Amino acid sequence: MAPKGQQLDLTSAADSKKASQESAQRFLGVHFACCDVYARVYINHDQTAYVGHCPRCAKRVQMRVGAEGTAARFFTVY
């Protein structure tokens, strides 16, 4: 360990906060009415849609990302 005062720290709180936000995956909250369960649906690799499945019956859901979209973050799928 270097003596006090001879150590260089090149990170800052702002840098680490930004890195953690970028690494967090975007998701929507979905209530699957078919099985009455809640799950997160994550954005796909191309960031063109949120894609997921009901955790019980595997019903597939896909919600496209677009300029005409909504700011809502929670949905019910029937």
pLDDT tens for each residue of 52-63: 999 999 999 999
CA distance 35 to 60: 13
pTM metric for this prediction = 0.66
Tell me if 11 sits within 8 A of 56, measured CB to CB.
Answer: no
Q: In the structure, what pLDDT confidence band is assigned to residue 43 with cuts at 50, 70 and 90? A: very high
Whether the predicted pLDDT of 44 surpasses 90: yes
Q: In the structure, what pLDDT confidence band is assigned to residue 20 with cuts at 50, 70 and 90? A: low
Q: What's the DSSP call for residue 2?
A: P
Q: What's the DSSP call for residue 13?
A: H
